[in-house]
Amino acid sequence: MSQQLFTQTTFAKIIFQKLHLDAPLFVAIFLLCMLSFLTLYSASGQDFSVLIRQAIRVGVAFVVMVTLAQCKPQQFYRYSVILYILGILLLVAVLLAGLVGKGAQRWLDLGLFRFQPSEMIKITTPLMIAWFLSDYTLPPKPMQIFWAVVLIALPTLLIAKQPDLGTALLIVISGGAMLFFANLSLRFMLVTSSVLLSLTPVLWHFMHDYQKARVLTFLHPEQDPIGRGYHIIQSKIAIGSGGIYGKGWLGGTQANLNFLPESATDFIFAVFAEEFGLLGCLVLLSLYLFVISRCLYIAVRADDTYSRLLAGSLAVTFFAYVSVNIGMVIGVLPVVGVPLPMMSYGGTSVVTLLASFGILMSIHTHRKFIPT
């Protein structure tokens, strides 16, 4: 009996090794996908076609992930610059001729499918910064810091113009994380952060009205329960009414009865929390924690600077998305329109996400010294 198990496990191990896949990460991602399917089925009002569509996207994303896992990190290095420039161009294209979806120009209609360039930027920017910084000894010197900031700022501003404050903010975070991992002095970072924070009033001035409204609503959602505060109030109701054990799969009433808008996309965590309760949330958060920890572990164990910086940045980006989305849904952050990685409905998001995991796996499985 143990003989069989032994052969089975080694068999699986060989498959994973051959495909350059990192088993723990793979399994965690797979589990997250399963949870995602369960929740989407409920949030969409038991619409099977929604599930099918998402499953296809997830399938495509898995293919992308496995493909990228085959590549060597050197190849990423080679294409970093080109991909970055391509990303910038696409962003410009969006601004010039975007499709209006929900009051923001974020999409490019490519006939067969719609493509959201800002998603791509989530990968190309880290690639670029990592490429740039790894050429020099760490910590980077002021001149290098300057240029790194420019490289971060360029896509950020283009995305903010769309307007998509949420994603822009996260690009900044991923760039900042990169700099942090590049041994930038802590003092320096604190100083810059305070300077940036003090600039918030200026930023406020440049914000659109609705963005300002979002922040105000965040602080006092009850003041406008039918209009702007609606999302937050309904989200809290959904989550709170879930209690410890949740209402059970398909038992969520807030989403199914259309009380929670965006229930399949940005607010999917609320659906999950309503149906699976606090216990379910703990499971979900544990999975996320595991994924992030694994990514950080991969970063620590990476061979070279480029890979390290890249892996670290991708890990932090992933985590930033998770915490911002959940923070928004549970009412501790303003509504910023950011999807929940691995759970929200949407194609481009899953593809880029699994692409970045593919890169991470590639980094991990192409190391020079891999213990057997």
Partner 1 sequence: MNKVYTVQNTLQENRKFLNRVLVVFLAVVLTIAGLVARLVYLQISGHEHYSTMAKTNRIKSLPLPPTRGIIYDAKGRVLAQNTPVYSLELIPEQIKDMDHTLRRLQNLLNISNEKIQQFLRQQKASKRFSSIPLLWQLTDEEAAKFAAVRPYYSGVDIQARLIRNYPYGDLTAHVVGYIGRINAKELATLSAVQYSGSHHIGKTGIEKFYETQLHGKTGYAEMQTNAQGRAVQIITSNQPTMGNDIYLTLDIDLQKTASVALAGHSGAIVAIKPKTGEVLALVSQPSFDPNPFVAGMSSKAYRALHTSQKQPLFNRALHGQYPPGSTVKPFLGLASLQYGVATFTDTINCQGSYKLPNSTHKYRDWKKNGHGKVSMKEAIIQSCDVYFYDLARNLGIDRIYQALHQFGFGEKTNIDLLGEKKGLLPSRAWKRQHKNQAWFPGETLISGIGQGFTQVTVLQLAKATATLANNGVPMTPHLLHKITNANSSMLNNNQQETPIQLQNKNLQNIVDSMVGVIHSQHGTARRLRNKSYKIAGKTGTAQVFGIKQEEEYDEDKTTQKLKDHAIFIAFAPASDPQIAVAVIVENGGHGGSTAAPMAGKIIKQFLHNTQKGV
Give residues in contact with partner 1 (CB under 8 A): 74, 77, 134-135, 137-138, 177, 180-181, 183, 234, 236-244, 253-254, 257-259, 273, 277-278, 281-282, 285, 288-289, 292-293, 296, 299-300, 303-306, 308, 312, 315-316, 319, 323, 326-327, 330-332
State which residue, 162 or 256, has the beta carbon closest to partner 1.
256
Q: Which is closer to partner 1, CB of 205 or CB of 368?
A: 368
Cβ closest to partner 1, residue 1 vs residue 257: 257
SS3 for 304?
coil
Rounded CA-CA distance 102/26 in Å is 34
| Complex with partner 1: residue 80 or 162, whichever CB lies closer | 80
Taking the alpha carbons at both ends of the chain, their separation in whole angstroms is: 24
d(CA 185, CA 141): 10
Minimum distance, C-beta of residue 93 to partner 1, in the bound complex (Å): 30
Helix (H) or strand (E) holding 108: strand 104-109
Tally the residues of the chain. 372
Nearest distance in Å: CB 138, partner 1: 7
119-147 core/surface letters (b: 16 or more CB in 10 A; e: else): bbbbbbbbbbbbbbbbeeeeebeeebbee
For residue 103, the one-letter residue type is: G
Least distance between partner 1 and beta carbon 212 (Å): 24
Alpha carbons 93 and 116: distance in angstroms, whole number: 11
Least distance in Å: CB of 17 to partner 1? 22
Q: Which is nearer to partner 1, 19 or 296 (CB)?
A: 296
Q: With contact defined as beta carbons under 8 Å apart, do 97 and 79 qualify?
A: no
Q: How far is the CB of 240 from partner 1 (least distance, A)?
A: 2
Closer of 10 and 74 to partner 1 (Cβ): 74
- When the beta carbons of 206 and 369 are compared against partner 1, the nearer one is 369
CA dist list (Å): 356 to 83, 127, 212, 250, 313: 14, 10, 32, 32, 10
> What is the closest distance, in whole angstroms, from the C-beta atom of residue 65 to partner 1 in the complex?
22
119 Cβ contact list (under 8 Å, min separation 6): 348, 349, 351, 352
Smallest distance, partner 1 to C-beta of residue 255, A: 10
Output the smallest distance, CB 234 to partner 1, in A: 8
Q: How is 187-247 classified by DSSP, letter by letter?
A: HHHHHHHHHHHHTHHHHHHHS-HHHHHHHHHHH-GGGSTTTTTHHHHHHHHHHHHHTTT-S
Q: Please, which residue, 6 or 136, has the CB nearer to partner 1? A: 136
Q: Which is nearer to partner 1, 156 or 256 (CB)?
A: 256
Least spacing, CB of residue 75 vs partner 1, in Å: 12
- Quote the CA–CA distance of 152 and 288 in Å, as a whole number: 26
**Contact between 62 and 361 (Cβ < 8 Å):** no
